[in-house]
Chain A
Amino acid sequence: GENVEQHPSTLSVQEGDSAVIKCTYSDSASNYFPWYKQELGKGPQLIIDIRSNVGEKKDQRIAVTLNKTAKHFSLHITETQPEDSAVYFCAASIGYGGSQGNLIFGKGTKLSVKP
């Protein structure tokens, strides 16, 4: 079945530095790749998503890149701030079969931004 690998599992950066989180997926038919941020004690919240017909998408300090050939996508956060500290999850949609459209999540990256 579909598998999503996420690296690193923990990431510590200085405030103002950039952070990059990478994910690979196994299903070549996946079409939808969202990124979620989860703060302590809360449910995940979508921060950015990308579809298979787009290679890059930006929203202020956050960007996502997608390489369909290599089956990997990455989250880039620039000018990190302490409030960016959280757990980040990537996900990929299942591309075929009865579960088509459902999401498979990576195991998460705990980002710590030091002031």
Chain B
Amino acid sequence: DAGITQSPRHKVTETGTPVTLRCHQTENHRYMYWYRQDPGHGLRLIHYSYGVKDTDKGEVSDGYSVSRSKTEDFLLTLESATSSQTSVYFCATALKEEFEQFFGPGTRLTVL
């Protein structure tokens, strides 16, 4: 398995607070992705990165921002959390686009 860790694994927060999720990889993969998974919606892409400091929006990017200052780390920030952002968040990495994506274990976020 690719070495992908996510932190925290679980978080409960209140509406309006900022939240940052971290994805760390040891595979030196160029591409990194943040998805959210909700019942009935499958996996939806939030943001992705194709290199250090190179990021772009995905399908459901409103309310989220990302940063990638090092190859290993990809941060997802909710500037002001809302209840609609309660979800399970998965990070994934890939060596190249249209290649296998390796997923992390996920972060369960609850916004009260």
> Which partner residue on chain B sits nearest A107 by CB separation?
B42
Question: Number of residue pairs across A and B with beta carbons under 8 Å?
Answer: 53
CB of A8 closer than 8 Å to a CB of B: no
Task: List B contacts of A44 (CB < 8 A).
Answer: 43, 90, 103
Interface size on A, residues (CB 8 A): 27
Q: Could you tell me the distance between the alpha carbons of A19 and B82 in the complex, rounded to whole angstroms?
A: 39
Whether A89 contacts B97 by the Cβ 8 Å rule is no
Q: Nearest chain A CB to B49's CB is how many angstroms away?
A: 11
Q: Could you tell me the distance between the alpha carbons of A44 and B88 in the complex, rounded to whole angstroms?
A: 12
Task: List A contacts of B100 (CB < 8 A).
Answer: 34, 46, 49
Whether A103 contacts B101 by the Cβ 8 Å rule is yes
Listed in ascending order, the chain A residues whose CB lies under 8 Å from chain B are 1, 6, 31-32, 34, 36, 41-46, 49, 89, 91, 93, 98-108
Known interface pairs A6-B42, A43-B105; 11 further A-B residue pairs with C-beta atoms within 8 A, sorted by A's residue number: A44-B103, A45-B103, A46-B101, A46-B102, A89-B42, A91-B43, A93-B97, A99-B56, A101-B98, A104-B59, A107-B42
